[in-house]
């Protein structure tokens, strides 16, 4: 069970690494997606809601940078957590202590995808209205994966 738990944390680390790598190497696409989401470009354009839209390039870059920073931080913490868990897998006490960094990385991922996407993008910027830019199902899968791995990590070995 310890090896499987370690592999799941490493899997989340890999997912976050690939997400950050994709956003860094294709920043124009990521920036465009954030611009469309917080600019509310593909929503119903209801006049009573459009005051929420953000069009400032500086604020869009800031939001995009925060996403990449969270993905990177979560990835680093999960990689460190997985490495520590692997090193401590022979001892129940060492393995339990090694989980702390993994929990932190999983928590960063869960917060990014829940707060950033499911709360702010979906509800505040009304991303649920978009058929073109709707990544909410993906965000939910990433959030659920982080939470489920955390819950399983918390079970006895």
The residue whose two tokens read 């978009």 is 130
50-68 pLDDT, tens digit per residue, is: 999 999 999 999 999 999 9
Report yes or no: 18 and 11 within 8 Å, Cβ to Cβ. no
Give the structural domain span for 120.
Answer: 2-153
Statement: the pTM of the whole predicted model exceeds 0.85: yes
Report yes or no: 76 and 7 within 8 Å, Cβ to Cβ. no
Q: How far apart are CA 143 and CA 35, in angstroms?
A: 22
The domain tally of the chain equals 1
75-134 pLDDT, tens digit per residue, is: 999 999 999 999 999 999 999 999 999 999 999 999 999 999 999 999 999 999 998 887
Three-class DSSP labels, 85-114: HHHCCCCHHHHHHHHHHHHHHHHHHHHHHH
pLDDT of residue 123: 95
Question: Both tokens of residue 11?
Answer: 């899997």
Question: Residues for the chain: how many in total?
Answer: 157
Question: Both tokens of residue 18?
Answer: 């690939």
């Amino acid at each position: 069970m310890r090896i499987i738990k370690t592999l799941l944390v490493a899997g989340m680390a890999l997912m976050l690494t690939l997400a950050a790598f994709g956003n860094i190497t294709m920043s124009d696409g990521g920036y465009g997606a954030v611009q469309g989401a917080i600019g509310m470009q593909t929503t119903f354009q209801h006049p009573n809601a459009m005051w929420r839209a953000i069009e400032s390039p500086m604020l869009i870059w800031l939001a995009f940078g925060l996403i990449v920073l969270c993905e990177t931080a979560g990835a680093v913490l999960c990689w460190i957590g997985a490495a520590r868990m692997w090193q401590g897998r022979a001892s129940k006490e060492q393995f339990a202590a090694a989980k702390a960094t993994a929990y932190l990385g999983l928590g960063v991922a869960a917060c990014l995808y829940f707060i950033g996407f499911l709360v702010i993008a979906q509800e505040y910027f009304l991303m649920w209205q978009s058929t073109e830019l709707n990544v909410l199902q993906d965000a939910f899968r990433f959030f659920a994966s982080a939470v489920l791995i955390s819950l399983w990590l918390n079970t006895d070995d």
